[in-house]
Each structure stands twice: as structure tokens, then as C-alpha cells.
Structure 1
Amino acid sequence: MKKLLLATTALVAFAAGAQAADLGSRRAPVAAAVVAPAFSWTGFYVGAFAGYGWNNYNIVGLGTGTGNGPLLGGTVGYNYQINQFVLGAEADLAFAAITGRPAAAPNFSLRTNMLGSVRARAGFAVDRALLFVTGGLGIQNAAFSANGGPIERFTRTGWTLGGGVEYALTQNWTAKLEYSYYNFGTRPAGAVYGLPVRNEVHTVKLGVNYLFSTGPSAVVARY
């Protein structure tokens, strides 16, 4: 009986000591979850694009006409992202071959050789996708000729509006699809023919941009 009592006492003492040792030991820290940084649209970018354009015009005295043709150009701009909103400025320049003739006067030809713009841009970002609208100054260089006569070249300024979607393929490369409308009003083509021409251009562009990112994530506004 005495031996059983001693054995029981020793077992209880050992268990108490083991529990006390366990309570006093320091637990290993739990590793924090690794969160991938959100994509940031902030930064300068350059790019190139190809597209197609449609020319709607009205030559006073000769009637209306339409034209179409390809365009190829480049882009430079800057984005700044605050939360999910992206603000920026962009300029582009494209060489074009958008040619048309009035239906009532097929010997007259109007060709858009160049389209450019300087625009503000605003968008809403959902991580790597950016939906945007844009608008600003439009620039056109065109050539007008009639009945095999001299070619009269002229440059106009007007306004442009558009919108599109851009998607980040990698941390630096993005692809975009954009629609633009240009309005250059009604003005004389030049001194040679002196015919007032009203001109509008619609374009669809598909391009890629290289973003010189300034940080891994967007600026978070605190309220």
C-alpha cells in the first residue's frame, strides 16, 4: 500500500511539472499571410497602336462623301491613381490613309494624312483592368484635290472625345482598345480651291503601352 501511494504521488508531481513547463514555454510566432501588392496604374508610359478610320465630310456645293483607311501611330502619357480612380494626360500622333470622294463629284478627293491629339484621361480601375474616357484637342493634316488639279494640303485643329478599355498583361505591359471621334468643323480647304469643307473622323485603335511604374500599389486616400 505504501509503495502504491508513493508511485501515485510521483506520477502526479511529474504531470504537474510537465504542465508548468509547457505553460512557461514561448510559442513560435505564426507566419503572417503574404498578400500580393495590387497593380498600380501610376507612372509614365509610351506605346504604339494600329487602327482604322472613317471620314465623313461635306464639301459645300459638291455634297457629302465618306472615306476610310488604316492608321498607325504612337502614344505618350502619364497616369496617377488614387484608390480606384485614374487621372492622366495623353498625346498621340498617327499617320493615316483615310481617303474618300463625294458621291456626286467623284473627281474630287479628300484624304486625311495625319491625326493627332492632346487629351485629358479619366478612368476607373478594377485591379488590372481600366475603363476610361478621354477628350481634348484634335489635329488633322489633310489633302484636297479636284479634277486632277494641284493637291492642296492643309492642317486643322478641332476637338476629340473617346473611350476604351486597357488591361495590364504584365507589371509593365498593357494592351488597349479605344474609340475616338474627331470634329474639325466647317472651314475652307485652302486658297487654291476655296471650298468650305466640314470634316468628321471616327477611329478604332488597338495598341500596347509600356508603363514605367512608380510603385507597387495605388495611393490610398484617407477620409
Structure 2
Amino acid sequence: MKRLLLASALSALTLTPVLAADVVAPIASVYDWSGFYVGLQAGYGWSRVDQPYANVGGPFIFTQDDADGNGWLGGAHVGYNKQFDSWVLGLEGDFEASNIDGDDGGSGGHINGFEFKWLGSVRGRVGYALDRVLLYGTGGYAFMRGSAYAVEGFGGATAESNSATFHGWAIGTGAEYAFTDNLTARVEYRYTDFGAKRISFPVNGYDEKIDPSFHAVRLGVSYKF
């Protein structure tokens, strides 16, 4: 009887570590969004460009339709994230080329249009991480180089063009997913308002108050160091 009890005790001691290893499953690692990253992005934008007309130096009156347009944009971004529990704070900058272009169809007697040439932004990001999924909001300073132009007659050549740099703000939201420890992909919506600027057309003898803004949806990929 004593031998049976001793054998049972030894058997239990032998099986205990094995059973414990089976019961305690490995804990899956949680993705860390902290770190520097660089990436590429591309998207499509829809612009609204108010362009009230004025005699040179005079008050503006709305005698023209908007020079609304659409087109592609794409470029690169760089940023840094820092994760605090499930919250992620970050700073990001981007720079893009664009072919967003539109005109008023000649509503004021001349065809007047506006082209977005290149643009960029420096924005903060605030996100909430669900392991490899990051839901975030973003906003900050935005700038853009654009060209306002007038076409001589319907279907004619560009008679006058003036470029200017605009400064404004951007706000948006997005979702990002980490496929690997280093590679992430995102989809993002952003609204950008570049403020207004008075642009003169001395050859045609009038001014316009150009007020450009646009909505854009972007897809991007990033490499996190």
C-alpha cells in the first residue's frame, strides 16, 4: 500500500509541470506603434475654388461660378509615433504633387480656372490602438502652390496665369493596419482649406479673390523603423 501511494505521488509530481505548460497558453505579443516611419501615399481629390471678380483694387462681387475640379495627388510622408497604453500620439509631415484642376466654364465672360500644383502639411495625430489596428484623427498646418489662369475665349489658349503659395489648415481621420512589425498600410480622409488670396490679372484688367479648398481620400504604405 505504501509503495502504491509513493508511486502515485511521484507520478503526480512528474505530470504537474506538463499539465501546467498545457494550461498556461503563450501570451500573444501586442504590437507597439512607437517609432519613426516613412512612406508613400496616393489619392484622389475634389476641389472647391471660390473666385469672386473685382476691378483692379476694387471690391469683389460674385459674378463667376467656382472653379471646382478634381484629380489625382501623390507623394511621400514621414512621421513619429509614441504609444501610451492604447493611445498613440504622433507628428507627421507630407509633400505631394497634384493635377487637381478646374474652371468656371466661362460664367463671367472669360474662362477662369485654378490648378493645384503641389501641396504639403505638418500635422499632429491622435489615435487609439487595437493591437495591430490604429484608428486616428489628424490635423494641423497645410500649404499649397497653385496657379490661377484665364483662357482667352472659349477653347482658346491660356492668356494669363499667376502662381501663388497658399497657407491654411487640414483635418481628417483614418485607419492603419500593421501587416508586419515594420510594414503598415492606411486609408485616410482629409479636408484642407488653404485660405484666400487676391490675385491680379493685369492683362485682362481685373482681380480675383482665390479661395481654394478640397476633400481627398488617400491610401498609403509606411515602413516603421
TM-score range for the pair, normalised by the shorter chain length: 0.7 to 0.9
CA RMSD, aligned part only?
Answer: 2.0
- 1:92, distance to aligned residue in structure 2 (A): 0.6
Structure 1 counterpart of 2:49, one-letter code: Y
Instruction: Indicate conservation of the 8 Å contact 2:67/2:112, yes or no.
Output: no
- 1:190, distance to aligned residue in structure 2 (A): 5.4
Task: Report the number of matched residues.
Answer: 198
Judged with a 3 Å threshold, the aligned counterparts in structure 2 of structure 1 residues 65 and 134 are, in CA distance, closer, same or farther, namely same
Match of 1:35 among 16, 24, 27: 27
Q: 1:28-63 CA deviation, whole Å, 9 max, x = no partner?
A: 633353222111111111110110111101111233
Identity %: 38
> What TM-score does the superposition give when structure 1 sets the normalisation length?
0.81
Q: Which residue of 2 aligns with 1:187?
A: 197
Q: Distance in 2 between matches of 1:145 and 1:191?
A: 8
Q: Distance in 1 between matches of 2:111 and 2:101?
A: 13
Q: Distance in 2 between matches of 1:102 and 1:55?
A: 12
Q: Which residue of 2 aligns with 1:129?
A: 133
Q: Distance in 1 between matches of 2:81 and 2:66?
A: 40
Q: Which residue of 2 aligns with 1:88?
A: 90
Q: Which residue of 2 aligns with 1:218?
A: none
SS of corresponding position for 1:19: helix
Name structure 1 gaps, 5 residues minimum. 1-14, 213-223
Structure 1 counterpart of 2:166, one-letter code: R
Q: Distance in 2 between matches of 1:201 and 1:141?
A: 14
> What TM-score does the superposition give when structure 2 sets the normalisation length?
0.81
- 1:21, distance to aligned residue in structure 2 (A): 5.8
Q: Distance in 1 between matches of 2:148 and 2:210?
A: 10
Q: Distance in 2 between matches of 1:20 and 1:35?
A: 36
Q: Distance in 2 between matches of 1:190 and 1:134?
A: 34
* Structure 1 residue 174 corresponds to structure 2 residue 176: no
Work out which of the two has the higher radius of gyration on C-alpha atoms and give 1 or 2.
1
Instruction: Indicate conservation of the 8 Å contact 1:154/1:190, yes or no.
Output: no
SS of corresponding position for 1:36: coil
Q: Which residue of 1 aligns with 2:39?
A: 47
Match of 1:157 among 158, 162, 167: 167
- 1:22, distance to aligned residue in structure 2 (A): 5.1
Q: Which residue of 2 aligns with 1:216?
A: none
